[in-house]
A and B are shown apart, each in its own frame.
Chain A
Amino acid sequence: MNKFAPLAAALLAAAFASNAAAADLVLISGDAGTGTGLEDPTAKAPEGQNPGTTLGEQRTIAYQFAMDLWGSVLQSDATIYVGASFQPLTCTPTSAVLGSAGTTFIFSDFAPGVVPETWYSSALADSIAGEDLNPGYIDINSRFNGDIGVNPNCLTGADWYYGLDGKTPEGKINFLNVVMHEIGHGLGFQGFTNSAGDFLAGQQDIYSTFAYDNVLGKTFPALTPAERANALRSSTVLVWSGPQVKKEAPLVLDYRNALKVALPWQAAGNYEAGLAAFGPKPTLLNMLGILVAAQDGAGLSSTDACEPLTNGATVRKKFALVDRGNCPYVTKVANVQAAGGLGVVVANTGLGSPAMGGADDTIRIPAISVSQADGAKLRANLPSIITYGQDYRHLQGADNSGRVRLYAPNPYESGSTFSHYDVSHLPNALMEPAITDTLRGDVNLDLTPALFRDIGWTVNPGNATIGDCVTNVDVVDTGGLITGANVQAWNKLCEASSAGKPQYLKCMDNYRKRATADKILVGSQGAKVLACAAKAAK
């Protein structure tokens, strides 16, 4: 490998010459020869440690960085070809399609030992087979909106952030996180059961074999299409049954948010709670008090708090139990607040405790949701003494048996349902449908590597290497931390972007300093990484 070649050539060389144990993910540009997208020559100042000096270069570097991260995490003797391009996707001044991705081909019965009559995504099938099963074709296709930050009428005022440091400025969209997420789909975080519960081409896929209905106690292949369709509409019911995800979930997920009832004894215990996007976060102290029923005496229901309360004297300085439905959550909470209530418990109209959307900066009291069944039990035992806290017997985002929930809202959401973890996960997961600001896809893939293990990927078990030098940093740690993958990706980038050995070593030293300051590298790891870099540069 020519470590110190010019940037563009070196990026390509680096892509083909990674650690033998790691997977090679190779960028196949759909923009090649067009002078646009990944080749856009518009000058652009380097940002967030992305050394590219044109728009096209920064896009290519960020994309390659994401592929290097995934390539370090996974093992494959077959090269994985990832198609990428920037195109003017649908856009308005306030909204935009950012991009899309997925596997291009699926394979079944392609190698000994695979689950029979079961589809596997192209990259996974190639890795299991140890060869390119479909030479001449890309394994993953992806495209991103090239109008963002370029066309003033497209998401006006916003832009992609091509930085690699995780420090996304306000108003920008972290491109690296989006690419990590989308490539994740292409690598196999993708089920092929449609909204009616039918399998693609009448045959199960490996992802769907781990989808599990925890009420009927069956995996998807054992369910009828109608039963699968039902499970696809309830995140409480639809969970992942793979053993690796279940094993690692306690290392990743927080304890479950819970409404805690102390008295009366008939209702005492923990109740799974959903959180609101508005108002203060519930705490032990701001949710401590007496729960009573709210009455509004009008509208479609007298218990939904959609109108001003008629029992304000009862609710004042207490917490109000209200029923879901008929008006926005914020309206219910505003009505309780206006009556002097301290907080709100919303009883769902079905299974589970939904996350409550909405926005209202005037809301000053906390609100949580509980399931319909729990709401009925609470209502039958009012008044009660409540508070809020963690249920240490259960995990947030998992069912009572520790199986992690998949995203299955009702109504069904094409493009989101099934092929994501549920939004109830805390901390937020890379493969949730809503990509959040708190994600650091460059250092933490949470439960995604575990799911990949379940479907048949081999995850790199060793330490990060620089040249022949083995560091003391795990490439992938249990629980999805990918510190070693981060080291290897930065090493490749420093190699590719440096004009000589001194510049390479300076680049790696700067990386060590940043990673140590961000607590990505801890203890002696930084020194060992730098020692390996020095050895490799000799």
Chain B
Amino acid sequence: MNLKHQPLWLLAGIAVCITAQASPQQTQAAPAPTAVESSDGAMKVAIDPKTGKLRAPTDDEARALSQAAQPAANARALRRAEPLGAGKRGFVAPATSGEAAAAQRKLPSGGTMQQVPESFMTNVAIQRDAQGRMVLQHVDGETLPQAAKEGDNE
């Protein structure tokens, strides 16, 4: 994966994933700080436009990341509440399969029903490729697609 051409946003996501899985020892053993934790608890990282290498974001870059993340975060928060004007419910999905299964109900006919967890919503995303063409694909949750999947290229 060519990190130089990754969107800042995507790299922030990658950094969060890496950090979430790394042990404290591994984090401490890193040779140089390439990411910083912001006040909202998110781990952020930037690509130096000259070297193409990962590094901690400047204050301006960190601010830009926070601003980019905010609308989506707000929307996610909104999705935890049923829209008042809709007149029907069901817009809010259980966060996990366990939560969904726990709310299973019996039907009067004797059957069973349950809500589908959020993870089974299919998400479609779009990205411009190297030629500027827009490529649509499905993604996991709200994770943005990578510029090129490994399996596509080798």
Contact = CB atoms under 8 A, between A and B. Distances in A.
A255 interface: no
Given A95-B128, A359-B131, A435 B136 contact: yes
A91 B72 contact: yes
Contact of A88 (B10, B74, B120): B74
Contacts of B134: 158, 171, 173
Contacts of B138: 413, 415-416, 420, 433
Interface in A357-381: 357-359, 361
Given A90-B9, A97-B144, A138 B90 contact: yes
Contact of A102 (B121, B139, B152): B121
Interface string B53-92: 0000000000000001001101100110001111111110
B36 interface: no
Interface in B71-115: 71-72, 74-75, 78-79, 83-91, 93, 97, 100-101, 104, 107, 109-115
Given A90-B142, A92-B144, A94-B7, A32 B86 contact: yes
A329 B154 contact: yes
A89 B131 CA distance: 25
Contacts of B51: none
Contact of B109 (A89, A111, A330): A111
B98 to A, nearest CB: 9
Nearest to B110: A109
Contacts of B109: 109-111
A147 B75 CA distance: 11
A108 B112 CA distance: 5
Contact of B153 (A153, A329, A420): A329
Contacts of B79: 87, 143
A408 B126 CA distance: 20
Contacts of B37: none
B140 interface: yes
Size range of the chain B interface in the assembly: 35 or more
B127 A357 contact: no
B121 A100 contact: yes
Given A104-B90, A201-B104, A435-B124, A92 B68 contact: yes
Interface centre among A95, A143, A185, A190, by most chain B C-beta atoms within 10 angstroms, is A95
Interface stretch (A66-74, A210-218, A320-328): A320-328
B91 A141 contact: yes
B123 A104 contact: no
A185 B72 CA distance: 23
Given A95-B127, A420-B138, A34 B115 contact: no
A171 B101 CA distance: 43
Contacts of A96: 125-127, 144
B117 to A, nearest CB: 8
Contacts of B140: 413-415
Contacts of B27: none
Nearest to A357: B152
A107 B68 contact: no
Contacts of B154: 324-329
Given A30-B83, A201-B101, A190 B120 contact: yes
A85 interface: yes
A99 B124 contact: yes
Contact of B7 (A95, A107, A194): A95
Given A94-B127, A98-B125, A110 B152 contact: no
A151 B71 contact: yes
A201 B100 contact: yes
A155 interface: yes
Best-surrounded residue of B86, B124, B136, B144 (most CB of chain A within 10 A): B124
Nearest to B112: A108
A523 interface: no
Contacts of A87: 75, 78-79
B113 A104 contact: no
Contacts of B142: 89-90, 97
Interface string B143-154: 111001101111
Contacts of A409: 151
Contacts of B127: 94-96
A141 B97 contact: no
Contact of B113 (A32, A105, A173, A356): A105
B38 interface: no
A200 interface: yes
B66 to A, nearest CB: 13
A101 interface: yes
B136 A34 contact: no
A113 interface: no
Contacts of B101: 201
A464 interface: no
A83 B83 CA distance: 10
A436 B124 CA distance: 12
B85 A34 contact: yes
Interface stretch (A49-57, A129-137, A442-450): A129-137
Contacts of A134: 90, 113
Given A182-B124, A200-B97, A201-B97, A133 B7 contact: no
A342 to B, nearest CB: 22
Given A141-B90, A141-B91, A201-B101, A357 B124 contact: no
B154 to A, nearest CB: 5
Nearest to B113: A107
Nearest to B154: A328
A419 interface: yes
Given A104-B90, A361-B131, A413-B138, 9 more contacts: A88-B75, A91-B68, A105-B113, A133-B113, A136-B88, A413-B140, A415-B123, A415-B141, A434-B137
Query: What are the 3 closest A-B residue pairs judged by CB atoms, nearest first?
Result: A357-B152, A33-B85, A32-B85
11 contacts: A98-B136, A100-B121, A105-B114, A107-B112, A137-B89, A137-B90, A182-B124, A201-B114, A328-B153, A359-B130, A359-B131
